[in-house]
Amino acid sequence: MNSLKPYPRHQLRKVHPADGVWDFTFLGDIARDKLDLDQIVYDDAMPVPAAFDAMPAYAGRRGLAVYRRKISVTPGRPSRLNFEAVSLWCRIYVDGRLLGEHACGYTGFWVDVPAGDFQDRELVVVVDNRFDFHRSPLHEHYFDFYQWGGIIRSVWIHEVGGSYLKDAFVRTIDPVVGDIHVQVQIEGANGTPLSLELDGLPVGSYLASARMELRCRVPEPQPWSPGTPHLHHLRLRLGDDDMIIRFGLRTVEARDGQLMLNGEPVELRGYNRHESHPQFGPALPLSLLVADLQQLRDLGANFVRGSHYPQDQRFLDLCDEMGFLVWEEGIGWGQRARQLEDAGFRKAHLAMLEEMVCTSRNHPCVILWGVLNELGSNENCARPVLEESINRIRQLDPTRPVTYATMFPLEDLCYDLADVIAHNIYPGWYGCEDVEDPLSLIVPHIHKCIAHVDSLGHRAKPYIISEIGAEGLYGWHDALNGFFTEEYQAAYIETVLCEVAANARINGIALWHFSDARTYVGGRALVRPRAFNNKGTVDEYRRPKRAYEHVKRLWRAKGE
């Protein structure tokens, strides 16, 4: 099943999946504030999770859609709905009562449902995939990736009492000794006993309070690393409620020009990756998530940058288990003064970052937080937003470095705010129309970017190439090895990876990108053949291009 979890999150708490086939109707371009739920006729069915506009019947359509299903809960007992992602904007109704609204298509959120008198209740979700800066300011039509609509990730129903565990965060103090710090948030604590188990062994009992800071030691600690991705389990029990947190013992630091994992330098070899497929849109089945990671492992990669939004929790679970390192990133692409100076945007952006961090911070695979890909960091308007965003992330999780990927390597004004310097650069691809040998531009430009960063006094910060690449159309070969051929793409990537291997200043690379992904439609697609970003080492169906064997040869030799 698409909704199966790789390990149980609860043993006592009743949790019901709400995935399946829901009643559905597409209403199109109508005003959402004038919607009358009682007048809706549900004339179709829609699977959840899925993007409704990835289905052939609704391909490319934008407007209001409504989902409905019956849910069963214990009468007289409150519950919480957990939506892992609804895109782009939604409202949640139970028994006709509006209970919540959400305006980010890639983060999970919770909706509290008051107790009712009956077991069967009606859940209605109104979804809007139209672009509207005032309602959903985090989504823009110009983003260089297609943004689908619908309930794109799983939905869960949690039955809770008056006192329940709301959140828990496990931080590693010492990965060798096994010392951890546990931060617990409890709703309606009332002095109820709270007990803790680590890997099935009791480690402590406490009187619960709303917020608790506890220190424990894992009985038989085994540090987590890409080569040995050992995982431990913390179980918290509060009366008839419980929560299980899976975590890894590991530390991450950015210091002395290196990214350090458990005190040792780590070299990042990997890809940017969109959650995208022609058939499924962003709602990838579990089998495809596994297959993607198997291909990445075959390539010799150990690193994934989740571009450009928080990733599916199932994908992060798999990365925990398979030992991949992940850059987890908030949604963003190319924001400039119009967005960065808007109070509504900034409020929504901070809320999204909080949801991302609180959802993903127990994953040992996540070693970097990222914000606002390619924002206008060459202008002063970027600094206040970056500063408040990075500070908020550090408040929620002081254990990981924070960065942002800049497309202005020589003009950026905000390097001092980041723990890691990250450059999106495309020498030999963009802006070289009249250059006889575009590949000759790659190495000098990399050297120039690094020299500039170091000249500003940032030599002690790790340096990552967060994007670089060239488009290659699957199956397109030409004797002249011109742009868009598989041959030019392969030669381009070989040139890049040889320089990265030879340059000790470069701590890691995320090639752009793993698989071809749908992007612009309309006029903007003129710069994207097929309306896809074709820089994937595999195409949208995961068929390898010529560059695949080049990457595999270079990275597998490095890894071995």
265-269 mean pLDDT: 98
Domain that holds residue 178: 164-250
Q: What is the pLDDT of residue 527?
A: 81
| AA identity, residue 107 | T
Q: In this structure, are 129 and 183 located in the same domain?
A: no
- Residue 444 belongs to some domain of the structure: yes
Q: What does pLDDT average to over the chain? A: 96
Q: In this structure, are 187 and 277 located in the same domain?
A: no
CATH of the domain at 67: 2.60.120.260
Query: Is a pLDDT exceeding 70 seen at residue 270?
Result: yes
The distance of Cα 328 from the centroid of its chain, to the nearest Å, equals 5
- Residue 543 belongs to some domain of the structure: yes
- Residue 117 belongs to some domain of the structure: yes
Q: What is the pLDDT of residue 300?
A: 98
Query: Is a pLDDT exceeding 60 seen at residue 318?
Result: yes
Q: What is the pLDDT of residue 526?
A: 64
Q: What is the pLDDT of residue 559?
A: 61
- Residue 150 belongs to some domain of the structure: yes
Q: Model pTM?
A: 0.97
Are 489 and 546 a contacting pair, CB within 8 Å? yes
d(CA 243, CA 423): 39
Q: In this structure, are 462 and 535 located in the same domain?
A: yes
- Residue 4 belongs to some domain of the structure: no
CATH of the domain at 274: 3.20.20.80
Q: What is the DSSP letter of 56?
A: G
* Among candidate residues 216, 250, 284, the one where a domain is terminated: 250
Query: Is a pLDDT exceeding 80 seen at residue 429?
Result: yes
Q: What is the pLDDT of residue 557?
A: 86
Q: What is the pLDDT of residue 6?
A: 60
Q: In this structure, are 137 and 208 located in the same domain?
A: no
Q: What is the pLDDT of residue 532?
A: 96
pLDDT in tens, 31-49: 989 899 999 999 999 999 9
pLDDT in tens, 107-158: 999 999 999 999 999 999 999 999 999 999 999 999 999 999 999 999 999 9
Phi (first) and psi of residue 7, to 5 degrees: -155, 155
Q: What is the pLDDT of residue 166?
A: 98
537-557 mean pLDDT: 98
Query: Is a pLDDT exceeding 80 seen at residue 520?
Result: no
Q: In this structure, are 237 and 355 located in the same domain?
A: no
Q: Which are the contacts of 502, defined by CB distance < 8 A and separation ≥ 6?
A: none
The total number of structural domains that make up the chain: 3
pLDDT in tens, 68-83: 999 999 999 999 999 9
Q: What is the pLDDT of residue 525?
A: 60
Query: Is a pLDDT exceeding 50 seen at residue 463?
Result: yes
- Residue 138 belongs to some domain of the structure: yes
Residue whose C-alpha is closest to residue 328's, from 405, 254, 251: 405
- Residue 256 belongs to some domain of the structure: no
* Among candidate residues 158, 187, 219, the one where a domain is terminated: 158
Q: What is the pLDDT of residue 145?
A: 96
Q: In this structure, are 475 and 338 located in the same domain?
A: yes
Q: In this structure, are 118 and 149 located in the same domain?
A: yes
pLDDT in tens, 167-203: 999 999 999 999 999 999 999 988 899 999 999 999 9
User: Taking CA 536 as the corner, what is the angle to CA 533 and CA 537, rounded to the nearest 5 degrees?
Assistant: 165
- Residue 323 belongs to some domain of the structure: yes
Q: In this structure, are 298 and 403 located in the same domain?
A: yes
CATH of the domain at 238: 2.60.40.10
Q: pLDDT band for 20, please (50, 70, 90 cuts).
A: very high
Query: Is a pLDDT exceeding 80 seen at residue 4?
Result: no
Q: What is the pLDDT of residue 2?
A: 38
Contacts of 393-396 with CB under 8 Å at 24 or more apart are: 393/353, 393/357, 393/369, 396/354, 396/357, 396/358, 396/361
Query: Is a pLDDT exceeding 60 seen at residue 221?
Result: yes
State in Å, rounded, how far the first CA of the chain is from the last one: 36
pLDDT in tens, 334-390: 999 999 999 999 999 999 999 999 999 999 999 999 999 999 999 999 999 999 999
Q: In this structure, are 311 and 443 located in the same domain?
A: yes
Q: In this structure, are 203 and 109 located in the same domain?
A: no
- Residue 232, strand partner residues: 247
* Among candidate residues 219, 250, 281, the one where a domain is terminated: 250
Q: In this structure, are 213 and 289 located in the same domain?
A: no
Rounded percentage of the chain residues whose pLDDT exceeds 90: 94
Q: In this structure, are 232 and 199 located in the same domain?
A: yes
At 487, list the tokens.
């041959």
